[in-house]
Structure 1
Amino acid sequence: DLRQRVDAADPALPPLRIGVAHGPATPRGGDWFGATVNLASRITEAAKPGQLLATEAVTEQAQGEEWKRRRKRSLRDVDGRLRLYSYEGDGRD
């Protein structure tokens, strides 16, 4: 499990929070830009420590994984309310 590996690597690090969105992004100067990147950042802000949250588009691309449907929520600088899903898998095949 990714979360356990990160914790084991350095327990002094703060708990990992992950937000994932699916869509176009533009590479420039060693970084990535665009609405998808901004959305992933907002989703990361909404994640609890140790949690991976994703959009429905991500879950559609990652079928066969364990996702739990979460309530719709408002995210900073995002129009409307967005349905998010938390990853419930253990990261093993």
Structure 2
Amino acid sequence: METGFPWGSAPSVDLSLWRADAIVLFDWLMSTDLNAVPITHPAQKQALADLLARLEEVGITESTEEEIAAPRKMWQGHGLGGAPIDQSSVTRAQGSMTQDIT
């Protein structure tokens, strides 16, 4: 899909995410002041804003409170200083729930 950029069209990539990951990213982006996120170049901030826009376009905004809470509960106590993440349990928990972002 070609997207309109100030400098013209730019090539795009197709990215497939587990729906749970897309929901977590969307929730974080909606609650984060992008001006407060440490960046080293304005393109990084723009990429986050573009990601938020794409998540809105694919219907992540229609997520229920239960869908938002489920990944948080699943990951509570894992990673980022918590217990090591068991990849097999992650795969089983997320199953084949994917959301194509194209």
TM-score range, shorter chain: under 0.3
RCO greater where, 1 or 2, for CA within 8 Å and sep 6 or more? Answer: 2
Name whichever structure is richer in helix by fraction: 2
Name whichever structure is richer in strand by fraction: 1
Give the alignment's TM-score, normalised by structure 2.
0.26
Instruction: Select the structure of larger CA radius of gyration.
Output: 2
